[in-house]
Amino acid sequence: MGGNGELGYQWEPVGYEELAWRVDPDALEGVPKSRRRKITGTYRAAVPFELRDKGILIPAELQSRMEEVAFLLVRFDAQQEARGYDLPALLLRSESAASSQIENMTSSVRNVALAELSSDVAQNARIIAGNVAAMRAALGFSGELSVERIREVHEALITRGGQDGQDAGLSFGGCLRDEQVWVGGTAYSPHGALFVPPCADRVPGCLDDLVAFVNGSNMPSIAKAAVVHAQFETIHPFIDGNGRTGRVLLHAILRSSDVLRHASLPISAGLLHNIDAYMDAIVQFQAGNPLAIVEQLVDALELAVAVGNMVARDIDGVFAEWAECMHERKGSALLRLPNLLAKQPVVNGSFVAEELGVSMRTAATIIERACEMGMLSPMGNRRRGVFYQCDELIAVLEDVSSMQGIRRILAGKQG
């Protein structure tokens, strides 16, 4: 289904208003005259429709798919609660990598895990690690969503990702924008952009409406999450990081709706496999069709469950192999290392010592034994220190954090 039928366009489209644009001659230096002529003294910015009283008519086929995927999510969630290791922590990395790939940012799973312990890594790895931090912040919420909590998610995303301070000392993590932004087009004006979100003065009111809808609507949780995500992208409340923050909110809403109480899933992997359809669904939403983005989220959740089950099966196999190799006495700190590696597949001595509550000397012994077993391998001496990586867990995550891996899973699911 494409959500393009008469039933799809249930709401009024996003409105527009004409606003003044200050033409800065200095900023246009070097811009071809043909482009300068297109930059006028006014531009059109979106005026989003209000959500708080919106309802949605869902076709029977889509309703059935939503109910089926909700059942799969609840079952997957229960299975993860019963596991002894932190699979959600591993899947957070897959989710963050896929969400960042939608923004054309890539990095290896190893470097992202390393970025959580060291700042001396490539910028993309730090940015994706910021996405992991934002996910953890959102999934740690309890109670109703608020504008302040949305800002906290963005602050974790930007500050932990090392993006603050890159533009003339500007710190913007968690700060609502006070300037016009636009999607596509050129860097020097909104003229010719693909989409121009609302002016900055409208952002607080739009977010208040969004939050009121989240906390007051009885719309089915999956449909609600999809609608909130699309509306958030329409508002674009921050100067950067809106796409990643909006995809984090998908998880927060599913968590608050008790659909995923314990687990996390790589929902963005499902969106990543067909970016064009995902982007088109947001355009359709802005034109008054909420069904298109709901369908996209249902598709993404179906694939996310398939990815989650595959990762769980592979990690279970890795843990079983390790268990056969470990003959330490009961109570040995080494027996707790696998669960720690599920949470953090790149470690150093101080991290192991702190997390397992042992001395640095004992941590060194644990790491040495883990290397003998093949559980860890040294990353080498570096200026930033000595780190060790869990090759087997990283390999599993790399396989589901790339376009090729996602497409392979999708092909297997359809077959």
- Does residue 160 surpass a pLDDT of 70? no
- Does residue 301 surpass a pLDDT of 70? yes
Contacts 24+ apart (CB under 8 A), 183-189: 183/236, 186/35, 188/27, 188/28, 188/31, 188/39, 189/21, 189/23, 189/39, 189/43
Per-residue H/E/C for 284-345? HHHCCCCHHHHHHHHHHHHHHHHHHHHHHHHHHHHHHHHHHHCCCCCCCHHHHHHHHHHHCC
Centre a 10 Å sphere on the Cβ of residue 264 and count the other Cβ atoms it contains.
Answer: 28
Confirm if 53 and 227 have CB atoms less than 8 A apart: no
Lowest mean pLDDT among 181-190, 285-294, 368-377: 181-190
Among 3-17, 142-156, 303-317, 344-358, the range with the most confident prediction by mean pLDDT is 344-358
218 assigned ligand-binding residue:
no
245 assigned ligand-binding residue:
yes
308 assigned ligand-binding residue:
no
Q: What is the mean pLDDT of the chain?
A: 85
pTM for the whole structure: 0.86
* 36: helix, strand or coil: helix
Residue 169 to residue 166: CA distance in whole angstroms: 6
Which of residues 195 and 113 earns the better pLDDT score?
195
Q: What is the pLDDT of residue 259?
A: 80
- Residues in Cβ contact with 269 at an 8 Å cutoff, skipping those fewer than 6 apart: 94, 95, 98, 300, 303, 304, 307, 400, 401, 406
Element (H, E) at 19: strand 15-20
- Both tokens of 176, joined, read 């609502």
Which of residues 3 and 406 earns the better pLDDT score?
406
244 assigned ligand-binding residue:
yes
Please list the active-site residues: 236
5 assigned ligand-binding residue:
no
CATH 1.10.510.10 fits 15-309, yes or no: no
Closest CA to 177 of 45, 347, 31, 362: 45
Q: Give the mean model confidence (pLDDT) for residues 179-203.
A: 93
Residue 23 to residue 35: CA distance in whole angstroms: 13
- Both tokens of 280, joined, read 């088109």
Element (H, E) at 44: strand 42-47
How does pLDDT run across 246-291, given as a tens digit for each residue?
A: 988 888 888 888 787 777 788 887 787 788 999 999 999 999 999 9
Q: What is the pLDDT of residue 83?
A: 77
Residue 273 to residue 398: CA distance in whole angstroms: 15
- Both tokens of 110, joined, read 């190893």
Domain boundaries, the chain: 15-309
Max CA pair span of the chain = 78
Radius of gyration of the CA atoms of the chain, in A: 23
Angle between helices 87-102 and 291-325 (to 10 degrees): 140
Q: What is the pLDDT of residue 382?
A: 56
- Residues in Cβ contact with 139 at an 8 Å cutoff, skipping those fewer than 6 apart: 88, 251, 252, 255, 264
Which of residues 40 and 362 earns the better pLDDT score?
362
184 assigned ligand-binding residue:
no
- Both tokens of 21, joined, read 């644009």
How does pLDDT run across 342-364, given as a tens digit for each residue?
A: 889 999 999 999 999 999 999 99
